[in-house]
Amino acid sequence: MTKINTVLGPITPEQLGPTLMHEHMVLTYPGWDLDALCEHLEFTELAKTCADALGEVKQYGIKTVVDATPSDMWRNVELDRAVAEKTGLNIICATGMYYEGEGMPAYLKARGAMFDIVTEQYESFMKELTVGIGKTGIKAGVIKVATSHGSITPYEEKMLKAAAKAQKETGVPIITHTQQGTMGPDQAALLISEGVDAKKIVIGHMCGNANIEYQMSVIDKGVCLGFDRWGIDYLFPDNLRRATMLGLLGLGFADRIILSQDCHAQILGRKFVWPDFVQPLVANWSYTHIFKNIIPLLKQAGVTEAQVNQMLAGNPRRIFGG
Ligand SMILES: [Zn+2]
């Protein structure tokens, strides 16, 4: 029987239920705390903010949320644990590294001049998946990897190879970050050539591209597509995400798409207010946006309850359960 690591301990695939496969608690970037004017929020305050916002998904039947934050993006598994305790949601945390441009590759790149960082990073992933993260005893349940816009840098390639090695040994899913869907087929091909079962791979942020032919080139690899940025019109308009999804569902691919919002409850750093030109383009972005605004529109266009359930529950269960 497959066991899935949540931040409160292992669960069975049957216990997953409807699942948001790619969300976050906080959003920030390495260096946020070097801003002399950054806010330092109390842990209890932060946990309450996250639990209050994320807890709203329960009224739509969601049972599990994947916090897809990679290790180098202020992932905080104790915060995940506090939010899981407060909300009763299953929360699955990640081990992994973000893309080179916005992550924290300096340490690994420096070691890479002397040592084999594929092996070192594999060992690091394995420790977090099988022993625990830091001294918390909390084990990661997925591996997150990422690539740049239009390229996979040599550093990123090494991270993908390390992830593949750890995936094969543990069987956990790999969830990727792409820049607007670019390099989706390449990520899939690389991971598969390293021996990862395509059925365990979710290529993230594919909803940032409305080209059906391109989407098919990723589906053809046997992987799942992340339509996981609903509400971020600032990056790509929801109506084009929706048109693309309707095309794919029309072709019968409900079993190859997951739904999520890449949302957060708090931005860390200096007190943050979206600039005026961005505000209307993120106005709907929340943990509940797909339930309030997107699924009703999909249903108006003929998408069935069974297809929605497949994307929200059936696919996560298969991806985690093997
Ligand atoms: Zn994300």
Per-residue pLDDT at 210 exceeds 90:
yes
**Cα 23 to middle of ligand 1, angstroms:** 6
> What is the CA(178)–ligand 1 centre distance, in A?
10
Cα(205) to ligand 1 centroid in Å equals 8
pLDDT band (50, 70, 90) for residue 5: very high
Computed on alpha carbons and rounded to an integer, the radius of gyration of the chain in Å comes to: 18
Mean pLDDT of all residues in 161-176? 98
Q: How high does pLDDT run on average in the chain?
A: 97
What pLDDT does 109 receive? 92
- Res. 251: pLDDT tops 80: yes
Quick one: pLDDT band at residue 123, thresholds 50, 70, 90? very high
Q: How far apart are CA 264 and CA 83, in angstroms?
A: 13
pLDDT digits (tens, 9 = 90+) for 155-165: 999 999 999 99
Scanning 113-183, the segments in alpha helix (DSSP H) are 117-130, 154-170
* CA atoms in the 13 A half-sphere facing the CB of 27: 11
pLDDT surpassing 90 at residue 173: yes
* Ligand 1 center to 27 CA (angstroms): 9
CA of 263 to the centre of ligand 1 (A): 7
Torsion of CA 290, 100, 183, 20, to 10 degrees: -20
pLDDT band per the 50, 70, 90 thresholds, residue 1 = confident
Ligand 1 midpoint to CA 177 (Å):
7
For ligand 1, the distance from its centroid to the CA atom of residue 22, given in whole angstroms, is 6
C-alpha–C-alpha distance, residues 201 and 191, integer Å: 8
Distance of CA 318 to the CA centre of its chain: 16
267 C-alpha to ligand 1 centroid (Å)? 13
For the cut 90, the answer to whether the pLDDT of residue 119 exceeds it is yes
- How far apart are the CA of 148 and the centre of ligand 1, in A? 14
- The pLDDT tens digits of the residues spanning 301-310 come to 999 999 999 9
Q: What strands lie across the sheet with 224-227, from one edge to the other?
A: 19-23, 64-67, 90-96, 142-146, 174-177, 201-203, 224-227, 257-259
Q: How many angstroms is it from 90 CA to the middle of ligand 1?
A: 18
Q: 295 is written with which tokens?
A: 């699924």
Q: What percent of the chain has pLDDT over 90?
A: 99
Arithmetic mean of pLDDT, 85-108: 97
Residues 259, 312 contacting (CB under 8 angstroms): yes
Closest listed residue to residue 69, CA positions, set 78, 61, 57, 56? 78
- Res. 52 pLDDT band, cuts 50 70 90: very high
Q: How far is the CA of 114 from the centre of ligand 1 (A)?
A: 31
Q: Is the pLDDT of residue 322 over 80?
A: no
